[in-house]
Amino acid sequence: MDKEREIVLVRDCQRGDRRAMDTLVRQFEKPVFNAAYRMLGSADEAADVTQTAFLKVFENIRRFDPNFRLFSWIYRIAVNEAVNQLNRRKRFAPYAEVPCEDFDVSQDTVSTSQLCSEVQAVLMELQPDHRAVIVLRYFTECSYHQIGEILELPEKTVKSRLFTARQQMKCRLQRHGILST
């Protein structure tokens, strides 16, 4: 969606136009649900977070700053809501450093569904702030600048955090046997 259409859509939503609200939800519900699912590893919780995120979007739409892109603002609300949900859950595994080696993908040894659940399990082992950059980079295809806007971080921090998160991710994938050394 280009910036001009986005401005019109936001303005219509601010006026309370239900059709515009419906359009906005349709535009972003899938990627928001996807991001929430990757952050939480649970479809039910992701659905709850997606609903709450859109509720907050419409509650605060009058305060939307047009200097930001709409999707960045919505993702920010969704990611924060997912992190809140994780904090409420208080049962993610303790974080630990893992020695790292080089790796290759051994995709022929696992089916897609296995791969999916294994990768999600590994993702859940990361700290939430590292998981968030991986999710935004690989599952929502955001740029450094967009990730920075969403997580309210300087681009430099995004780069370094993404580097660390990737290293952690590949080490864990390797440990789980999803990537060979």
| Footprint on this chain of other proteins (rule: CB under 8 A) | 15-19, 21-22, 25-26, 29-30, 33-34, 37, 43, 46-47, 50-51, 54-55, 58-59, 102-105, 107, 112, 115-116, 119, 137-139, 143-144, 159, 162-163, 166, 169-170, 173, 178-179
For the packed helices 70-89 and 144-151, what is the interaxial angle rounded to 10 degrees? 60
Q: What is the number of other CB atoms lying within 10 angstroms of the CB of residue 120?
A: 14
Please answer whether residues 70 and 54 qualify as being in contact, where contact means their C-beta atoms are separated by less than 8 angstroms.
Answer: no
Nearest to 99 by CA among 161, 27, 181, 25: 181
If the CB atoms of residues 20 and 86 are measured against other proteins, the closer one turns out to be 20
Shortest Å distance, C-beta 139 to other proteins: 7
Tell me how far apart the alpha carbons of residues 38 and 85 are, in angstroms, rounded to a whole number: 13
Angle at CA of residue 142, ends 80 and 19, nearest 5°? 70
Q: Report which residue type is found at 32.
A: V
If the CB atoms of residues 67 and 112 are measured against other proteins, the closer one turns out to be 112
Phi and psi of 90, rounded to 5°?
Answer: 50, 40
Q: How far is CA 36 from CA 68, 114, 176, in A?
A: 21, 20, 23
If the CB atoms of residues 94 and 99 are measured against other proteins, the closer one turns out to be 99
Shortest Å distance, C-beta 119 to other proteins: 6
If the CB atoms of residues 6 and 17 are measured against other proteins, the closer one turns out to be 17
Shortest Å distance, C-beta 172 to other proteins: 12
If the CB atoms of residues 83 and 115 are measured against other proteins, the closer one turns out to be 115
Shortest Å distance, C-beta 96 to other proteins: 21
Q: Half-sphere exposure of 69 toward its Cβ, with a 13 Å CA cutoff?
A: 15
If the CB atoms of residues 19 and 63 are measured against other proteins, the closer one turns out to be 19
Shortest Å distance, C-beta 79 to other proteins: 16
Shortest Å distance, C-beta 58 to other proteins: 5
